[in-house]
């Protein structure tokens, strides 16, 4: 099938949906509370009340929305789904992402006109499984992350008449395609991984207790680097975009519905540039592209299973928390003229100081500039500092051509692993 490949970004809330599309997404995927494998906590989360609003916003840009209904469902969940069928139908998503056979059966009966995408949670690893889903009525299969590019190419050759989606960037699960019960057990059933509540025990630090010697703990060492023995590095395939397109991928998925606004925007921008370069016949600077990803929160990067030989350095033994190479400093909210100068109202994410040099990214630009004036939110007092969560006005030595969706970060790269 392999028309121009789609860039698919996460939309954890409506604001992230808006930024993802403006930074280059062709489509977004999002979940509604109770049916998604990611539980949102911040922003205008997607609920039954605002689902149509979110989808209408994406459609107003001419972009697609795929709704995740990919929990593994109990009977109570199925009853809840029946109660929300009319809401989903009215909201009119372009496709529904499904892993559970019961949910799939309900959707085929009640929403037969909406495309079905088969979730990566089904662990689809071979051509016969893809054929099964095609014959069952699915229009797309989201392949398991445990496949190589060579295996992707083989599946495409064997099943040319269905869309194939692959993950290209983001956090990975230690279990096969995310089907894990560690969280269920370690939280006594309060944080169920396959119901959107994973507590990420694979990111925890572990010690060994010898049962006949109570209280005697032993460090679990892995080449002396630490004890995060289950924590995988993040996937990053930005330098393999041409190979993936030529292997037959129809859609590139970015993981991260719980990630920050900055993460969604910056990753979208980087992969948009890489995809566009391929179709223009250009060969981009691979180091520069990868450096853009180093500025975003990560646990170190890996190519996972995608290359011909698995990346045996794919685990982050020393740290489990994602660290960004650049700090997200502020987002732009407004613009006004003051004393013949343009001032910008910004929301501070990490402290800035007067005369700081910062990097601005927008959907169309990336440049450095200086913060030459800081005012309080009432514009009646000059300040030396903007603290986290402050809303202030600033003057810049160089301004963005379009401040809407502009973001600021520190210059350079730190925390490289």
| Residue 218 confidence (pLDDT) | 59
Question: Over 70: is that where the pLDDT of 313 sits?
Answer: no
Closest Cα to residue 198, out of 174, 181, 221?
Answer: 181
pLDDT tens per residue, range 148-191: 999 999 999 999 999 999 999 988 776 656 666 666 656 766 77
For the chain, the distance separating the N- and C-terminal CA atoms, rounded to the nearest angstrom, is 38
Token output for 180:
């894990």
Q: Which residue blocks in 206-319 are alpha helix, DSSP H?
A: 241-247, 261-279, 286-294
If one compares 207 and 398, the residue with the highest pLDDT of the two is: 398
C-alpha angle 121/31/71, rounded to 5°?
Answer: 35
- DSSP state, residue 331: E
* pLDDT band of 409, cuts 50, 70, 90: very high
Domains of the chain: 6-176+231-302 (3.20.20.70), 328-409 (2.40.30.10)
| Residue 196 confidence (pLDDT) | 66
Question: Over 60: is that where the pLDDT of 41 sits?
Answer: no
Beta carbons of 68 and 99 less than 8 angstroms apart: no
| Residue 101 confidence (pLDDT) | 94
Question: Over 90: is that where the pLDDT of 203 sits?
Answer: no
Question: Over 70: is that where the pLDDT of 227 sits?
Answer: no
- The radius of gyration of the chain from alpha carbons, rounded to an integer in Å, stands at 23
Cβ-count burial of 4 within 10 angstroms (0-12 exposed, 13-18 middle, 19+ buried)? exposed
Beta carbons of 335 and 403 less than 8 angstroms apart: yes
* pLDDT band of 220, cuts 50, 70, 90: low
Question: Over 70: is that where the pLDDT of 317 sits?
Answer: no
The stretch 28-53 carries a mean pLDDT of 75
Q: At what angle do helices 149-158 and 127-135 cross, to 10 degrees?
A: 50
Cβ-count burial of 160 within 10 angstroms (0-12 exposed, 13-18 middle, 19+ buried)? exposed
SS3 103: helix
**Mean of pLDDT over the chain:** 88
SS3 48: coil
The whole-angstrom separation of Cα 327 and Cα 262 is: 10
The whole-angstrom separation of Cα 6 and Cα 4 is: 7
Bridge partners (DSSP) of residue 336 are 343
If one compares 351 and 307, the residue with the highest pLDDT of the two is: 351
The whole-angstrom separation of Cα 322 and Cα 313 is: 17
The stretch 194-211 carries a mean pLDDT of 69
The whole-angstrom separation of Cα 161 and Cα 134 is: 8
Token output for 393:
């006005």
| Residue 405 confidence (pLDDT) | 97
Question: Over 90: is that where the pLDDT of 136 sits?
Answer: yes
**For the chain, what is the total number of helices (H) and then of strands (E)?**
10, 20
| Residue 367 confidence (pLDDT) | 97
Q: Cα–Cα distances in Å, from 401 out to 325, 356, 363, 404?
A: 25, 20, 11, 9
Question: Over 80: is that where the pLDDT of 321 sits?
Answer: no
Cα 171 to its chain centre, rounded Å, is 8
Question: Over 60: is that where the pLDDT of 239 sits?
Answer: yes
Neighbours of 351 (CB within 10 A): 15
Q: Strand 234-236 and strand 95-98: pairing?
A: unpaired
The whole-angstrom separation of Cα 177 and Cα 56 is: 31
Q: Strand 357-361 and strand 407-409: pairing?
A: antiparallel
Q: Which residues, 6 or more positions from 37, have their beta carbon under 8 angstroms from its beta carbon?
A: 31, 68, 70, 71, 121, 178, 193, 194, 195, 196, 198
Token output for 24:
């280059």
Question: Over 60: is that where the pLDDT of 291 sits?
Answer: yes
Closest Cα to residue 121, out of 68, 77, 168?
Answer: 68
Q: Is 43 left (phi over 0), alpha (psi -120 to 50) or beta?
A: left
The stretch 375-400 carries a mean pLDDT of 96
Question: Over 60: is that where the pLDDT of 119 sits?
Answer: yes
* pLDDT band of 94, cuts 50, 70, 90: very high
């Amino acid at each position: 099938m392999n028309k121009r490949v789609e860039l698919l970004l996460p939309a954890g809330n409506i604001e992230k949906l808006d930024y993802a599309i403006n930074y280059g997404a062709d489509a977004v995927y999002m979940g509604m509370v109770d049916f998604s494998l990611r539980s949102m906590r911040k922003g205008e989360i997607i609920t039954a009340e605002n689902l149509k609003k979110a989808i209408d916003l994406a459609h107003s840009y001419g972009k697609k929305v795929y709704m995740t209904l990919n929990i593994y469902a109990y009977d109570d969940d199925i009853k809840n789904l029946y109660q929300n069928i009319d809401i989903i139908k009215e909201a009119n998503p372009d496709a529904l992402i499904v892993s559970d056979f019961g949910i799939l059966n309900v959707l085929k009966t009640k929403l037969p006109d909406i495309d079905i995408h088969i979730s990566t949670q089904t662990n689809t690893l071979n051509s016969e499984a893809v054929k099964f889903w095609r014959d069952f009525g699915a229009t797309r299969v989201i392949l398991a992350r445990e496949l190589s590019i060579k295996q992707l190419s083989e599946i495409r050759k064997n099943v040319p008449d269905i869309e194939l989606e692959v993950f290209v960037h983001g956090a990975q699960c230690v279990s096969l395609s995310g089907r894990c019960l560690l969280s269920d057990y370690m939280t006594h059933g309060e944080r169920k991984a396959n119901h959107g509540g994973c507590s990420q025990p694979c990111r925890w630090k572990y010690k060994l207790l010898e049962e006949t010697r109570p209280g005697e703990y032993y460090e679990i060492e892995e080449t002396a680097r630490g004890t995060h023995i289950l924590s995988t590095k993040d996937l990053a395939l930005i330098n393999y975009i041409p190979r993936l397109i030529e292997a037959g991928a129809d859609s590139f998925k970015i993981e991260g519905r719980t990630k920050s606004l900055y993460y969604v925007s910056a990753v979208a921008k980087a992969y948009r540039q890489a995809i566009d370069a391929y179709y223009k016949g250009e060969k981009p600077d691979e180091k520069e592209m990868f450096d853009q990803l180093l500025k975003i929160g990560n646990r170190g990067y890996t190519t996972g299973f995608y290359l011909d030989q698995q990346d045996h350095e794919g685990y982050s033994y020393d740290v489990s928390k994602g660290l960004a190479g650049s700090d997200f400093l502020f987002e732009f909210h407004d613009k006004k003229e003051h004393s013949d100068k343009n001032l910008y109202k910004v929301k501070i994410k990490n402290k800035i100081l007067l005369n700081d040099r910062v990097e601005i990214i927008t959907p169309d630009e990336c440049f450095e500039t200086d913060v030459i004036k800081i005012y309080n939110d009432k514009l009646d007092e000059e300040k030396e500092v903007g603290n986290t969560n402050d809303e202030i006005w600033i003057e810049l030595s160089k301004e963005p051509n379009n401040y809407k969706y502009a973001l600021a970060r520190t210059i350079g790269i730190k925390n490289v692993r």
